[in-house]
Amino acid sequence: MTTRLVLAGSALVSMAAAWAWLAGAPVAHPHAAHWSAATLWTAVVMWQAMMVATMTPTVAPWVGAYARLVGDMRGGGTHGPSFAFAGGYFAIWLVYSVGAALVQLVVIRAGLLPPEGPSPVVAGTVLIAAGVFQFTPVKQACLSHCRNPLSFLLSRWRGGPPHAFRLGATHGAYCVGCCWLLMLTGFAVGLMNLAWMALITLVLATEQAAPGGVWLGRVFGAVLAAWGAGLCWPA
């Protein structure tokens, strides 16, 4: 019980800190015309903060489930493996954050993401891609794992923090495969758009946990694709 309380408290603090940082972070840095190592680092931190803010509600229950699993199998001493599992998950998302920041640098330098926002065609293309992805086999396979990774955890469980880190990283890779394009919709609607991030958080949490979550994800995908098409081909 103590481990689960510590994990829950850590999740709440991390998520609150991420939202607070995003609310007060300078928006000018991601759109800087001349990037330096410092501005690239700021962009990486921004993407990682967005990930922590949006993905913590979906991963926290499974970190708790892993802590219970380790406790049942080991009879105690779950702090190390549980935090290592969470560390592996967030390490994979850190790799994604670095990649997203580099993509951001490329599109800014290409003139596709000016400070006033992308063109309707660019924004529409991103939304269409994210919407169509919701129906792909890759999305469905990753979502199926994310909705019920318990069998995966049981079949691959081994003792010790190093293995827990690898297990968390593998689970994180499935999560990235499920959500990466939805996260990139920030390019279309505005990076650090807190209202949009809150909506994405709700959609991801629902599609990964609610009984009708799979269909909600598809409906959301259809809405994104239709919205994107309307931007690309206005009446």
pLDDT tens series, the chain, 235 aa: 566 677 777 778 888 888 888 888 655 445 555 667 777 888 898 899 999 999 988 888 888 878 777 765 555 555 778 888 889 999 999 999 999 999 888 888 887 877 777 889 999 999 999 999 999 999 999 999 888 877 777 777 776 788 889 989 999 999 999 999 999 998 899 887 899 999 999 999 999 888 888 999 999 999 999 999 999 987 5
Q: Who contacts 14 (Cβ-Cβ below 8 Å, separation ≥6)?
A: 52, 56
| Distance from C-alpha of 207 to C-alpha of 157, rounded to nearest angstrom | 26
| Distance from C-alpha of 34 to C-alpha of 40, rounded to nearest angstrom | 10
Both structure tokens of 161: 């923090």
125-144 core/surface letters (b: 16 or more CB in 10 A; e: else): bbbbbbbbbbeeeebeebbe
> What's the pLDDT at 94?
94
> What's the pLDDT at 78?
58
Closest to 65 (Cα-Cα) out of 212, 164, 200: 164
CB atoms within 10 A of CB 235: 3
Chain-centroid distance, C-alpha 137: 19
Both structure tokens of 107: 């599109």
Q: Who contacts 140 (Cβ-Cβ below 8 Å, separation ≥6)?
A: 214
Q: Who contacts 83 (Cβ-Cβ below 8 Å, separation ≥6)?
A: 7, 10, 161
| Helix (H/G/I), strand (E/B), else coil: 114 | coil
Between helix 37-74 and helix 79-109 the angle, nearest 10°, is 150
